[in-house]
Amino acid sequence: MTKAARLARIITMVESQPIGSQAELRALLADEGIIVTQATLSRDLDELQARKVPDGAGGRYYKIPSPGVAGEADAPAGFHLERWAREVMVSAKSAGNQIVLRTPPGAAQLLASALDRAVLDGVLGCIAGDDTVLIITESTKRADELLSHLIDIAHSSSNN
């Protein structure tokens, strides 16, 4: 399993149920055949900016910041888009005012989340499946411009 797919699975688990500890999350991952060390899981949660929040009953559970919510992410939105485009974008094509991005299995949600966080001009919205992101733009011209931009950042090195 790729790191991107593992991160996507962690996001899904944390968003679908209250998880109060790394041990609990690690056990849920193991139930699905995803074996990770505590150190790796800790780094993954940090990378996803997961934080424990009160549950209202005296307990605490993990929460991952929602895309586009001010104050929930420390890094600039453009950083997330550049990073995930470089790491997981396999191909990109446009058709009219739509762009289709392909990723490894399980990674589309990470890229879609980064696109949402970036709040790109002319983007009406995006939808992610398992390995595909569909972006709807306001015009064919905007789709072509965005496609070119995404391809450029996906092929740039992290040193640029």
Say which CATH topology domain 3-63 has.
Answer: Arc Repressor Mutant, subunit A (1.10.10)
**pLDDT tens per residue across span 50-100:** 899 888 888 899 998 765 444 444 445 556 788 889 888 999 999 999 999
**Cβ atoms of residues 113 and 133 within 8 Å:** no
Give the 3-state DSSP-derived string for 38-95, with helices as H, strands as E and coil as C: HHHHHHHHHHCCCEEEECCCCCEEEECCCCCCCCCCCCCHHHHHHHHHHHHCCEEEEE
Instruction: List the Cα angle 143/77/103 in 5-degree steps.
Output: 55
Q: What is the pTM of this model?
A: 0.60
From-to residues of CATH 3.30.1360.40 in the chain: 77-155
4-15 per-residue burial string, b: 16 or more CB within 10 A, e: under 16:
bbbbbbbbebbe
**Which residues lie closer than 8 Å to 18 by C-beta, 6 or more apart?**
55, 59, 61
d(CA 62, CA 109): 18
What order do you get walking across the sheet with 123-128 strand by strand?
91-95, 98-102, 132-137, 123-128
**pLDDT tens per residue across span 110-145:** 899 889 888 889 999 999 998 999 999 999 999 999
From-to residues of CATH 1.10.10.10 in the chain: 3-63
Q: Supply the pLDDT for residue 65.
A: 77
Checking if the pLDDT of 49 tops 60, the result is yes
Checking if the pLDDT of 160 tops 80, the result is no
**Cβ atoms of residues 62 and 52 within 8 Å:** yes
Q: Supply the pLDDT for residue 40.
A: 93
Say which CATH topology domain 77-155 has.
Answer: Gyrase A; domain 2 (3.30.1360)
